[in-house]
Structure 1
Amino acid sequence: MQTDRFIAHVNHACPSLDADVAHEATLITLETLCEQLPLDQAKRLAAQLPKELTEAVEAGGDRGETSDVPITLTEFYSKLMFRTELDEDTTRRVAQAVASALRQAVSDGEISDVALDLPSELDQLVAA
């Protein structure tokens, strides 16, 4: 899946968002999600994504190496709301759309591995 198609999937789920905002929110969501993955898992996920998305995934994986403290789904949404400056409902829709696009963009085995490596509440987002 190309970057434009991935972003279009998010924009379709959140039609009220400006295309540039959807693009930025997608990258922020990927980075924030991948902060909760081991670096090697983030790199395996990144290998199945286009370059621009890969950079966000790897940045999150790199940042995740500095903390082994898992977060809850509520904390994840709060962090996204702060970083994207979107309201709670839009933040949740963006996160769900990004997770849905990820499930389409990468192999079933890889998405299963990602879900296994995420904290228990976050795996619900990716595995849904």
Structure 2
Amino acid sequence: MSELDKIILRIKEIFSVNQDQEVAKILGISRASLANHKIRQTLPFKEIINLCKKNKKDINLLFGLKTENQSINNQNNSLTPEETEMLKDDLINQLKINQKLMAENIELREKLTEIGLTVEKHSGFLKKK
């Protein structure tokens, strides 16, 4: 099970929902966006952080770094400096990966255009020009 799948499972448990569509709604993203994150194995960090802030949930619960009991015992819901640094490093690495994938995507789209194909905006299917 991927890290993203584990986080989605924890969101389902914490917020008592069963479907990915409900998780997407809780995160404030579309079902398609969540599906894209699952395909690319990327985490929607901004949305996860906002979810935790908005609902006063310990972010460590979602990342599996603490149990519910440990979180309840923690009266201060702010991140420790070490946790903040860890999250910052993860975000920077994720951004680097996303930038690389975006560059590859642009390059592939240009190659497709050269051979007379385009990618449909909403479905992602190839079509002839």
What TM-score do the two structures reach when normalised by structure 1?
A: 0.30
- Bigger Rg, structure 1 or 2: 2
Higher relative contact order (CA 8 A, sep 6+): 1
Larger helix proportion of the pair: 1
- Greater percentage in strand: 2
